[in-house]
Chains A and B, each alone.
Chain A
Amino acid sequence: DAGITQSPRHKVTETGTPVTLRCHQTENHRYMYWYRQDPGHGLRLIHYSYGVKDTDKGEVSDGYSVSRSKTEDFLLTLESATSSQTSVYFCAISEAGISYEQYFGPGTRLTVT
């Protein structure tokens, strides 16, 4: 299995509080991604990174920010959590190039009350 860990694995927080989720990889892959998955639905891309300090928005980026100061770490921050951000968050990695698959982490279940 690809070396991807996510922390925390579960978190309950209150509306309006800041939350940071961490994705850590040991594969030295260039690309890292954050997705969210709501019940009964597929994954939606929030942000992704194509290198240290290089990031871009996905399809559901509002209310989220990211940072990548090291190759191995990609942080997702909810500046002021809302109940609509209750979801399961998955991190993924992939190598650079035109035909590389993504490997996914185990997910973080976030509940905003």
Chain B
Amino acid sequence: DAKTTQPPSMDCAEGRAANLPCNHSTISGNEYVYWYRQIHSQGPQYIIHGLKNNETNEMASLIITEDRKSSTLILPHATLRDTAVYYCIVRVGGGKSTFGDGTTLTVKP
């Protein structure tokens, strides 16, 4: 599975959009991009995933560049409850996947 690179930390004002970047320059053609988040010490929570098209669900939007080497997770109206560690991973199928250290997003009042 391809490795990903994320900034270690980011801040965002409450009510503003949070844009979390992820670099996955070695992604292969059949690997999907997944985003998870982990609040406090809970188990990670699935947010969204995509292959090459932009995706949106009730939690977030995922923008994948045309060359698929990077992506951005967008939380359109961040709240204090969105403070968490966000993980970007790439994988195909049900096999191995690697979680890096993620980005710690702090939403401030």
Chain A residues positioned under 8 Å from B25 (CB to CB):
none
Q: Which of A12-20, A69-77, A78-86, A103-111 contacts the other chain? A: A103-111
Chain A residue numbers with a CB within 8 Å of B102 are 42
Closest to B42 in A: A106
Binding site secondary structure of chain B: loop
Decide yes or no: A58 and B92 within 8 Å by CB, A102-B46, A104-B44, A105-B43 being known contacts.
Answer: no
A22 in the interface (beta carbon within 8 A) = no
In the complex, what residues of B have CB within 8 A of residue A96's CB? 93-94
Q: How far is the CA of A103 from the CA of B87 in the complex (A)?
A: 14
**Contacts of A43 on B, CB cut-off 8 Å?**
44, 87, 99
Chain A interface residue count, CB cutoff 8 Å, equals 31
Number of interface residues of B (CB under 8 A): 25
B4 → chain A, closest Cβ, in Å?
10
Please give the residue numbers on chain B whose beta carbons come within 8 Å of chain A beta carbons, in ascending order.
30, 32, 34, 36, 41-46, 49, 51, 85, 87, 92-102
**Are B96 and A99 neighbours in the complex by a CB distance under 8 Å?**
no
Q: Are B45's CB and A99's CB within 8 A?
A: no
Q: Is the CB of B49 within 8 A of A42?
A: no
A99-B32, A100-B94 known; 13 other A-B pairs, CB under 8 Å?
A31-B94, A40-B101, A42-B99, A45-B96, A45-B98, A50-B94, A95-B94, A96-B93, A102-B34, A104-B44, A105-B43, A106-B43, A107-B41
Q: How far, in Å, is A41 (CB) from chain B's closest CB?
A: 6
Q: In the assembled complex, which residues on chain B have CB atoms less than 8 Å from the CB atom of A99?
A: 32, 49, 51
